[in-house]
Structure 1
Amino acid sequence: MRQLSLLCLLLCSMMSTPVEASPNFVVIFCDDLGYGDLACFGHPTIRTPHLDQMAAEGQKWTNFYVGASVCTPSRAALMTGRLPIRNGMMSAKRRVLFPNSNGGLPASETTIAEHLKTKGYATAAIGKWHLGHKEQYLPTNHGFDSYWGIPYSNDMDAVKGFPNYRQKSQEDPNYYAPIEQYQVPIIHNTEVVELPANQHTITQRYTDHAVDFIKENKDKPFFVYLAHNLPHIPLYAGEKFLGNSSRGIFGDVIEEIDHGVGQILNTLRELDLDENTLVVFTSDNGPWLPFETHGGSAGLLREGKGSTFEGGMREPTIFWMPGTVQPGVQLELGATMDLLPTFCSMAGVDYQSDVTLDGYDLSGLLRGKSKTSPRDRVFYWREEQIYAVRQGPWKAHFITAGCYGIGPKKEVHEKPELYNLSQDPSEKYNIAARHPEIVQQLTELAEEHRQSIEPVENQLEK
C-alpha cells in the first residue's frame, strides 16, 4: 500500500510539472540599415517607437557585427554560423550574387533552419534571400518549409531608359523610381508569382506573411527568418507611410519597418507566445553612403557598406524575449554567426560537428547568467582578404578602403593601424606607435586565423 501511495504521488508530481516548450525564434534582418538609423540608437528625426520599446524591454547590443560588409556573404554567415570565406560565398571578383550567377549556398552547408528541423520546428523564409536564385539554392532546399520573397537585391534586373537613380536620389530626398524600372520577381517557394514585385507594398506584405505564419504555427515551435529588402535602394514605402517622416523617403521606409515589428510583437503577445519567443532585430551591413539622403547613417561610426571600418560591419541589434532576456544595454561582443549556436543551444539541438563554426552561444549573456561574452574577437573579411581584426577593445587594420562608391582607395599598411574602440569608436586616432605589442598580438591572431581557412569552390564566380 505504501509503495502504491508513493507511485501515485510520483505520477501526480509528473503530471503537475509543466513541460517546458521549445522556444520560437524570429529574426528580422534589414538591408543596408546603418548603426545610427533607429531612434533608440540615436537618430534624431526617424521615429521607431516599437523598436524603442523592444530595446527597452530587451537587450540593446552596441558591439554586434556581421560576417561581411555586403549582402550575399553577410547572409551566408548568418545562415550557417560560418564566415563566408569558408563556404565560397565571398569573392574578390564579384562581391555578391547577380541574376546571371549560377552559384549559391552549397548543399553541404547546414543552416539554422536545417538544425531546428531536427527538433520538429516549422520554418519560414520571408523576404530577400540572396544566397542563390536557382531552384537548388532556394530556401526550400535549405531547411525552410516555405519561402515568399525576392531572390536577390531589389535594384537588380534594372531596365534601361529610366532616370539614373543615384542622380535623382541626390537631387530629391523623397524621390522614388517607377516600379517597372526594376524587374525583380517575387517567388513563392520555387515559382515566380509576381513580376515585377510591387515594392510599394512589399514591406507590409512581408509582415503579413510573418504574422500569418506565426498564427498558423502557434501550437508548435517555429522559426521565422524575415529579411526585409529595404532600406537598400531603390526606396519605396507604403501609402500610409509615404511622406510621413521629416527624414524623407528613407525615414518613411524605416518607420514602416518599425510598424511591422510592432505588428509581429503584438501578435506574439496576443497569442501568449511572447515569453517563449526570441526575437532578434539587426541588419546585413552598414549604410550605402553614396546615395546620400537615400542611404542611411552609421552614426558616430566610420564609413559604411562595403568597408571594414566600423560603419560597414557593426549593426544596431536588439534581442527580445520577456522573462528570459534580461533587459539592458549589452556592451559585450556578438555577431550574426552567433545566432546559430545560440538558437540551437536554446532549442536543445546538437549543432557540434567536424565543420568549423565561427559562432558562439550567447544564451548565457541573454539570460543574465554570464557577464562576459564567449566571443572576444571579430575578423573583418573583405573580398577574400582579412582587412582587420578586433580582440577586446583593440582593432588592427592591415588593409583599409572606403565604402563602395566613395571613400579612400585601398591601402595595404606596412605598419598596421591600431584603434581602441572602447575609447575611440569612430576610429579617428591611430595609436599603433604607442602599443607595438598589441599590434604584434593582433597580427599573430590574424595569421593564425588565416591558416584555418581551407580553399573551396567559389560560388559567386560561377
Structure 2
Amino acid sequence: MCPCYVCFPDKPCYDMCWSGHVSCPLYINTTIMEQPTPLPSLAGKLLSKATQFLESNARDGTSFFLYMPFMHVHHPQFSSAEIDEESARGIFGDALLELDHSIDTILQTLDALDLADNTVVWFLSDNGPSLLRRERGGCAGALRCGKGTTWEGGVRVPAFVRWPGHIVPSRTNELLSSLEVLPTIAALTGADTSGLKLDGFDASDF
C-alpha cells in the first residue's frame, strides 16, 4: 500500500492514496533490489523468480519449499499491461485474472519439469472479501459478510490441494483451515514437530 504516484506511474490508482507510506521497496533477502517497484509489473517479477527457483531445484534434484504469496487481489487493485482490461469485471477482475494466470503458470512449470507427482501444491486465501471497499473488494457470493467477520463470508475462502497420483480430483465439504498446512506438510515429509505446540492437525489421511 505504497503512495499511488510511485506505484502506479502510468495509470491512476484504483483506491485511496497513502502518501505517508514508504515507497514500495522490492527486497531479495535483506537487499533492496528496486525502489519504488511499479505494482503492475510485480506479479511478473515474482512469477519469474518462482519459476527460476523450480527449474533450479529440478536441475539439482533437490527437495524444495516454495512460499508464493500474491498481492492480488488485495487493494490497491492492479494488473500487468498484458492483462489490463481483459476481464468483464473491471480492475478487480483483471487482478483476479492475473492471479489465475500466475498459478496456472506455476502448475504448468511443475508439469513440464516432471515434478507434479512429487509436489504438494496448497492454495488458499487468508480471508473473505473487503466489505469496506464494496465492489472493489471482491464478492463472497451467497455467503454472509466478509473480511473482519466470523460469518462464512469472512472465513470461508477459495482453496485447493493438488498432488497428482495421490489426490483424486473432487470437491469436499470437510472443514480445514490454514492451521493445517504446517502439521500436514510436516507429516508428509517426515519432519519432526515434537518440540512444537501446533494449533492445527495433520490432515494427510483425509
TM over 0.5: yes
The reply to whether residue 341 of structure 1 matches residue 179 of structure 2 is no
Please state whether the residue corresponding to 1:193 is helix, strand or coil: strand
Please state whether the residue corresponding to 1:231 is helix, strand or coil: coil
- With normalisation by structure 1, the TM-score equals 0.40
CA distance in 2 between counterparts of 1:194 and 1:175 reads 20
Q: For structure 1, which runs of at least 5 residues remain unmatched after alignment?
A: 1-154, 163-173, 366-462
More strand by share: 1
The reply to whether residue 327 of structure 1 matches residue 165 of structure 2 is no
1:264 aligned residue: 106
Amino acid in structure 1 at the alignment position of 2:29? N
Shift of 1:206: 1.3
Q: Which of 184, 187, 205 is residue 27 of structure 2 equivalent to?
A: 187
Shift of 1:179: 9.8
Please state whether the residue corresponding to 2:83 is helix, strand or coil: coil
Q: Which of 169, 183, 200 is residue 359 of structure 1 equivalent to?
A: 200
Q: How does 1:93-112 map to 2 (within 5 A)?
A: none
Please state whether the residue corresponding to 1:192 is helix, strand or coil: strand
Q: Is the 8 A contact 1:179 1:196 kept in 2?
A: no
CA distance in 2 between counterparts of 1:178 and 1:357 reads 39
The reply to whether residue 248 of structure 1 matches residue 94 of structure 2 is no
Q: How does 1:116-131 map to 2 (within 5 A)?
A: none
Give identity over the alignment, percent: 36
Shift of 1:192: 1.6
Q: How does 1:156-175 map to 2 (within 5 A)?
A: 157-158=2-3
Amino acid in structure 1 at the alignment position of 2:14? Y
2:9 aligned residue: none
Shift of 1:303: 1.0
CA distance in 1 between counterparts of 2:145 and 2:157 reads 13
Q: Is the 8 A contact 1:180 1:196 kept in 2?
A: no
CA distance in 2 between counterparts of 1:301 and 1:197 reads 36
CA distance in 1 between counterparts of 2:82 and 2:14 reads 15
Amino acid in structure 2 at the alignment position of 1:207? L
Q: How many residues align?
A: 196
Shift of 1:203: 1.2
Quickly say closer, same or farther: Cα 1:201–1:177, change in 2 above 3 A. Answer: farther
- With normalisation by structure 2, the TM-score equals 0.88
Q: How does 1:6-405 map to 2 (within 5 A)?
A: 155=1, 157-158=2-3, 176=14, 183-218=23-58, 219-353=61-195, 355-365=196-206
1:71-107 deviations in Å (ceiling 9; x for gaps): xxxxxxxxxxxxxxxxxxxxxxxxxxxxxxxxxxxxx
CA distance in 1 between counterparts of 2:192 and 2:41 reads 40
1:2-44 deviations in Å (ceiling 9; x for gaps): xxxxxxxxxxxxxxxxxxxxxxxxxxxxxxxxxxxxxxxxxxx
The structure that has the greater radius of gyration is: 1
Please state whether the residue corresponding to 1:297 is helix, strand or coil: coil
1:331-375 deviations in Å (ceiling 9; x for gaps): 11111110101101110112122x43111111111xxxxxxxxxx
Amino acid in structure 2 at the alignment position of 1:292? R
Structure 1 segments (4+ residues) deviating >2 Å: 174-182
Q: For structure 2, which runs of at least 5 residues remain unmatched after alignment?
A: 6-11
| Larger RCO (CA under 8 A, 6+ residues apart) | 1
